[in-house]
Amino acid sequence: MVSIGKKVPNFSVAATGDRTLSLKDFSGHHLVLYFYPKDNTPGCTLEGRDFRDSHAKFVHAGANILG
C-alpha cells in the first residue's frame, strides 16, 4: 500500500482500444485513479456514471481520470 504523499511506483495496464497506459504517461499531470471490486455491478456502474457526469469539472481542474 502506498501512503499519502509517497510516490507511486510506475505500472502499466491494459486499456480500451488495444492500448496500454503507464503511470509515467501522466507524469507532471494530476491523475485520478478509481477502482471498484467487480465489473458489471450496480456499484461500479454508479461510480463510473458519477465520474462521467463530473468529467468537465475534473478537466477544468486539470485532472485526467482513469477507472
Please give the positions annotated as active site: 44
Q: Cα separations (Å) of 38 from 20, 41, 43, 44, 54?
A: 21, 6, 8, 7, 22
* Cell of residue 10, nine digits: 510506475
Which run of H or E residues covers position 50?
Answer: helix 42-53
